[in-house]
Structure 1
Amino acid sequence: MTMPELDLATLHEAIAEALAEQPCVITAQRTYSWRETTDRTRRFAAVLRANGLGGRKPVANAWETGQDHLGLYLYNGAEYLEGVLGAHKASVAPFNINYRYTPTELAYLLRDAQAKAVLFGGYFAETLAAALTELDQAPLLIQVDDGSGAQLLDGALDYETALAAADPGQGAPESGPEDRHLLYTGGTTGMPKGVIWRVGDLVAGPLGVRKAASAEEVVERALRIRGRVLPAPPLMHGAGTGIAVGGWFSGATVVFPPSPERFDAGVLLDTCVQHEVTSIAIIGDAFGAPMVAELQARPRALPALKLIVNSGAALRESLEDQLRELIPGVRISDMLGSSETGLHAKRGSGSSTFSARGNTALIDETRTRIVEPGSEEIGWLAQGGAIPMGYLGDPDKTAATFVTVDGRRFSVPGDRARLTEAGEFEFLGREATTINTGGEKVFAEEVEQVVRALPGVADAVVVGRPSQRWGQEVVALYQPADDTVTTEQLRDGCRAALAGYKIPKVFLRVDRVGRHANGKADYAWAKAAAVSPPEELA
């Protein structure tokens, strides 16, 4: 029997009807019931429609959406999730914006995403205003009062004022499983890429509604599971939004700590205690280590907390052990995934291998054959089943990443792995020169271009090296053009062109940057030099 497909907006409304007055979102400022969330997101959909946005046109290519696109440029909070849900109700494709971008980086993203509207917090008004000067046409601007005191940008709508004036009857969902959702991630060239998810696949895949035969079954399951979910990572990353919306589909209340502009382990744990949070999502050591330190310094009873989901960066086994000791009864799920696959493999406790979830496979070097268990062959980790359509506006990258093997379509985002005799995956890392620092992806080539262009630098290469705090930290090895350039000058030069998390934590001076005969950087040399540097300028 073929199961009917479900879409995000109508499924949320079905659960909301059953849970009407129960809490849907809890913030430091107030609690929103499921009924209120339905009303507010319908009003937001009505605002979008009143401004000419919404609806879907048929498309012929996997790299097109056929829809208008709404950028979400906010810290974690109720408005972010309302933006996601309200956009879907209007049949508008939402996309995430990294709030650490410089104006130039933001302008590139808005152009690439063909943004027709941006829902943004006042904290980011100044950066957005600067980015808009680089665009040929400004999108619809909707500004959230986030307590920053920022003045309303010229031409922008005030979010709460617009909602109050809107008719929720004009925002009833007209969405369906064929609608699209955009998830922006970095590309191997260092520039962000919009991953296009068909909503039916997003719901059945990353959002976890796999076995339901109907919306009624999802509602029944939601009433049975419930709980309270806290996404510690920014919602601007897929992992954060995924656990929040996926939690909704399990009937959970989404809880946000105060001060969303920065991660504070003490505040997070106090919020877990106050609101009896049952599960949280974190990103690697950058979250796990401060949580352990905080619990050791100020022990707390967390009897409600049953699950910690880690994804996006590695979590050291020693930290997992300490978290289990400090939070009795907690279970830790260490997940492997990407924007192009969702969470598709799970690491066992104390193991270096991952077990597959669903349609995960290993395909060979040529991407034409499925590798059998027990082979010593290094292949590409691939995900089948509910996967994205392609990359927005990029037919070449779409063809390279989404391939068909033995009649099955796979997403191959670039992870290298082996397949053990037991059918588990030994993860070897991303093929591209990606540096994962505190859950943020940094692409070495992008940073290299900036460093090499700085005054006083003759050549440079950028790599990641292990860091207890960040998982990896960005290191620039540079060959000086003269002896006058200082580390502070290099940092200042990078700061003008790069988001803060991309700026190298350390600059190492070397006599000559190692390169192969063909001129390409010798990354093996660079990584060795970064770990055992000849000279370090902190």
Structure 2
Amino acid sequence: MPGSHQLGRTKAPGDHLLHRRHGGRGDRCAAPAGADRPGHVQRGLPLRRLRPRRLRHRGGGRRLAPGPHDPGQRARLHGHGLFLRAGGGDAPAAGGQAAAPRGGRGDPGRGGPAAGRVVHPGRPGPAHDPEGLGRGRARSRVERAQAGRRRARPARAGAGAQPAGAGGVHDRGGGGHLDLRVPGQPLPHHRRGDERDPAQRDRRAPARAAQGPVSEGERGASGQARRGFSAHAAATPGRAALVLGDRTLTYGELDRRSGSVALALRGLGVDGGDRVAVMLPNGLELFECALALAKLDAALVPVNWHLKADELTWILTDSAAAVLVTDAAIWDSVSAAGARVPGCRVVVVGGPPAPASTVDYEGLVAGPVGGADGEVLDAGAGPSLVFYTSGTTGRPKGVVHGARGAAAAGPPRTGSAAGAGRARLAAAQDGQVALWRWTDEDVHLLSGPGYHAGPCGWTLTALYAGATTVILPAWDARRWLELVERHRVTRSFMVPSHFVRILELPERERRQRDLSSLRLIVHAAAPCPTGVKRRIIEELPTAEIWELYGASEGGATRISPQEWLARPGSVGLPWPGVGVKILDEEGRELPPDRTGLVYVVPPGGAGFHYHNDTDKTASAWRGDAFTVGDVGHLDEDGYLFITDRASDMVIRGGVNVYPREAEDALYAHPGVVDCAVFGVPDPVLGERLKAMVELRDTGVTAEDLLAHCRDRLAGFKCPEIVELVDTLPRDPNGKVLKRLLRDAHWGGTRTAISTE
């Protein structure tokens, strides 16, 4: 089917980077494997003292068996004889020579584990060099047997069923094609600080200090046999779950507090299927509420805490929220909105509640943990989430995941339907854990607002995987660097404007921080300028910088740094199980390199609908695929390039802003005749809003209009530039030609979405 691709069916990068350690220096060289596909790059293999070794890979039962090396030559892939063990025998990788099978680690015929991991440089400790290679001695038979028993641990739950491509191995029949890119593992070169003294390098980060010792048995099972927050809380209650400044909540404490909140919310009338709006800054309480709602099978509606009273009132009314949890610092806005939403109870965090109709959050936390009958609540895979995103009318619309076109107001309430909903969430979380290689050894840094889908979702996945999350209350580049170094952060979800702020810091200030613990950074929400992307890849060499493309409606594609460097501007290949196709206005599928609307086919019949908006839901779907209005094309290898937007949406610092809201606010001013609001380039935020306004002869100034907008809209939705004009360009029907205005500011490059 032309133009339609799935990750499991497309080519993966084929050139291997081999990393050689010699004399304390790294030497990289590109091997010719896959040379027929120029520009493709793969992850490197660590070669310690150029000694032959066998490496385990995550693919079930597959084995790499490097052959003899020639110390006098640069390492070449065909000189190592890399083999995949797939099916009945050893098949040589591209350029390799056949070799006799060798038993041992990773060999299913000799009792080796069915799945393993590639050993990479920069990850010290016995777990990453179990055979003692590179330490100058051979192991005894007893040591080899003991190592084999240590390795024979249960595979990660669900690993055998993970979708094609999730583990980086793309089987194309026969011996298969090996992709050594493993998200979250280091690139094959080192940052200053990787070669520090082992005692320093292995020191416990403050984020882990509260968890106490973890036994080898617990460590072996974690992230594999155990699934879900409640399971981790029961098995390792002393492990750090959330860290905010000097406060740390362990898994046991977070389980108890969220259980108390769940029972208290039930006492306020919240039941399975109900919705609770949470309007909180980044903090511990946000995720206590999320887990409490998961225990009730209720839905979490994250709300941007910058919204004004009218905006909040709309969301509370449309979602039919039973309870609003908010912060005392924004009580003025909440009280104005809450007074106009009868039946919505208000819970206040961090201050004395007023008026008397509100509830003190700390009183909820201090309540009982279990029910009167000894009931123990389980958080499962986390809560159902309803994110509100603006529509063509400018009014936010709730995105409800589940059956496409369903009219349900929330998650399934009882019985088998509720169980199916939990199973769907668990399957989604299992897929995320497998795809991004989450473990309970990870330290995740929450860098963006918790009311956005990406940062919120990643934090919930971290709790599902048993990892630690360090919370950054508000974005600050210096503070981000400090927290990464202090807590030995391994991964974070970011937006391009974060990269810009980091790179704006003085080089000396950046270099003095040890960021070598970073293994994975995922960025999304806005296009990243190519210059910024190249610089951040160089700045953080131990981390893989992956880019995601998608929306609240669903994920679509992802791209590794190696792939991106070969195809700057691409947003990558489809997620495992996801299809992407390009359709014209008539719904006909277009071939590669033809531009049209981007449609996404979600996996396994998954879908979504817009709450209370059947027309918008119907317009988004065409058959089994949906679109969010973006325009792009696929290349011959299935890589997606976004070239324009069908809508006028502006992405300001990773936040979707719809100009219609600002236009509506301006039209409410008595001095405004007509206006057009659109995005203009910004070197830091990517885009910002500009308004061009026709006025009546009333003496109104641009400053008056800006103040008028700020009284009605959140700051990020307001124009930052107002230009007063005598007349706006219009078509014969009188419609303002906004594209002409926009193109004048983008210099004809608007279709590139500010990639330079």
- Aligned-partner residue type, residue 291 of structure 1: I
The answer to which of 67-76 and 33-42 deviates more is 33-42
Question: Structure 2 CA distance, aligned partners of 1:302 and 1:107?
Answer: 43
| CA pair 371-177 structure 1, distance change in 2 beyond 3 A | farther
1:380 is aligned to 598
- The number of aligned residues is 496
Match of 2:736 among 521, 525, 528: 521
Question: Structure 1 CA distance, aligned partners of 2:477 and 2:493?
Answer: 13
Matched, 1:389 2:573: no
Match of 2:376 among 159, 166, 172: 172
- Aligned-partner residue type, residue 361 of structure 2: Y
Question: Structure 2 CA distance, aligned partners of 1:463 and 1:472?
Answer: 9
CA contact (8 A) 1:123 1:150 kept: no
CA contact (8 A) 2:241 2:249 kept: yes
| CA pair 203-461 structure 1, distance change in 2 beyond 3 A | farther
Shift of 1:207: 7.3
Shift of 1:527: 0.3
Question: Structure 2 CA distance, aligned partners of 1:50 and 1:188?
Answer: 38
Question: Structure 2 CA distance, aligned partners of 1:26 and 1:466?
Answer: 36
Match of 2:302 among 96, 101, 104: 96
| CA pair 481-153 structure 1, distance change in 2 beyond 3 A | same
Match of 1:81 among 287, 306, 312: 287
Partner of 1:413, secondary structure, is coil
Question: Structure 2 CA distance, aligned partners of 1:177 and 1:322?
Answer: 37
CA deviation map 1:196-236 (0-9, x unaligned): 12454455447744769xxxxx9xx86x5521111211011
The answer to which of 37-46 and 295-304 deviates more is 295-304
| CA pair 344-428 structure 1, distance change in 2 beyond 3 A | same
| CA pair 166-142 structure 1, distance change in 2 beyond 3 A | farther
2:455 is aligned to 240
2:348 is aligned to 143
2:397 is aligned to 193
RMSD of equivalent CA atoms: 2.8
| CA pair 291-41 structure 1, distance change in 2 beyond 3 A | same
Question: Structure 1 CA distance, aligned partners of 2:607 and 2:614?
Answer: 13
1:310 is aligned to 523
CA deviation map 1:367-411 (0-9, x unaligned): 755444x2524232313116443111222222222342xxxx333
| Within-5 A mapping of 1:395-414 | 395-404=614-623, 409-414=624-629
Question: Structure 2 CA distance, aligned partners of 1:462 and 1:320?
Answer: 29
Partner of 1:141, secondary structure, is strand
CA contact (8 A) 2:582 2:632 kept: no
Shift of 1:346: 2.7
Match of 1:122 among 328, 332, 342: 328
2:554 is aligned to 341
1:33 is aligned to 250
- Aligned-partner residue type, residue 318 of structure 2: D
| CA pair 425-466 structure 1, distance change in 2 beyond 3 A | same
Partner of 1:349, secondary structure, is helix
Shift of 1:305: 1.5
List runs of 5+ in structure 2 lacking aligned partners.
1-157, 163-225, 403-420, 748-756
CA deviation map 1:493-520 (0-9, x unaligned): 1111111101101011222112222333
Match of 2:700 among 465, 485, 488: 485
Question: Structure 2 CA distance, aligned partners of 1:179 and 1:480?
Answer: 49
CA deviation map 1:475-509 (0-9, x unaligned): 00111222722111011111111111011010112
2:236 is aligned to 19
Shift of 1:296: 2.0
CA contact (8 A) 2:277 2:323 kept: yes
- Aligned-partner residue type, residue 24 of structure 1: A
| CA pair 371-45 structure 1, distance change in 2 beyond 3 A | farther
1:48 is aligned to 265
2:275 is aligned to 69
| CA pair 366-168 structure 1, distance change in 2 beyond 3 A | farther
CA contact (8 A) 1:89 1:172 kept: no
CA contact (8 A) 1:371 1:379 kept: no
Question: Structure 2 CA distance, aligned partners of 1:27 and 1:267?
Answer: 12
2:690 is aligned to 475
Percentage identity across paired residues of the two chains:
26
CA contact (8 A) 1:414 1:431 kept: yes
| Within-5 A mapping of 1:88-487 | 88-135=294-341, 137-145=342-350, 151-169=353-371, 172-173=376-377, 180-198=384-402, 200-205=423-428, 208-209=431-432, 224=439, 226-257=441-472, 260=473, 262-284=474-496, 286-294=497-505, 296-299=507-510, 300-342=513-555, 344-346=557-559, 348-350=563-565, 351-353=568-570, 354-358=572-576, 359-366=578-585, 368-372=587-591, 374-385=592-603, 387-404=606-623, 409-482=624-697, 484-487=699-702
Partner of 1:389, secondary structure, is strand
2:214 is aligned to none
CA deviation map 1:223-263 (0-9, x unaligned): x5521111211011101101111222333211113xx2x32
CA deviation map 1:318-345 (0-9, x unaligned): 2223223333322211211100013633
The answer to which of 487-496 and 447-456 deviates more is 447-456
Partner of 2:465, secondary structure, is coil
Partner of 2:331, secondary structure, is helix
CA contact (8 A) 2:634 2:640 kept: yes
Question: Structure 1 CA distance, aligned partners of 2:702 and 2:558?
Answer: 41
CA contact (8 A) 1:68 1:116 kept: yes
2:726 is aligned to 511
| CA pair 178-21 structure 1, distance change in 2 beyond 3 A | closer
Shift of 1:456: 2.5
CA contact (8 A) 1:365 1:380 kept: no
2:75 is aligned to none
CA contact (8 A) 1:206 1:242 kept: no
- Aligned-partner residue type, residue 158 of structure 1: D
Question: Structure 1 CA distance, aligned partners of 2:255 and 2:452?
Answer: 24
Shift of 1:355: 1.9
Question: Structure 2 CA distance, aligned partners of 1:479 and 1:187?
Answer: 25
Instruction: Compare CA radii of gyration and give the structure with the larger one.
Output: 2
CA contact (8 A) 1:381 1:416 kept: no
TM-score, normalisation: structure 2: 0.62
CA deviation map 1:149-182 (0-9, x unaligned): 5654432221122121233346733677898431
CA contact (8 A) 2:499 2:532 kept: yes
The answer to which of 447-456 and 123-132 deviates more is 447-456
List runs of 5+ in structure 1 lacking aligned partners.
56-66, 213-217, 533-538
TM-score, normalisation: structure 1: 0.85
Question: Structure 2 CA distance, aligned partners of 1:14 and 1:343?
Answer: 30
CA contact (8 A) 1:70 1:118 kept: yes
Question: Structure 1 CA distance, aligned partners of 2:632 and 2:746?
Answer: 24
Question: Structure 1 CA distance, aligned partners of 2:227 and 2:540?
Answer: 37
CA contact (8 A) 2:677 2:690 kept: yes
Shift of 1:467: 0.2
The answer to which of 498-507 and 293-302 deviates more is 293-302
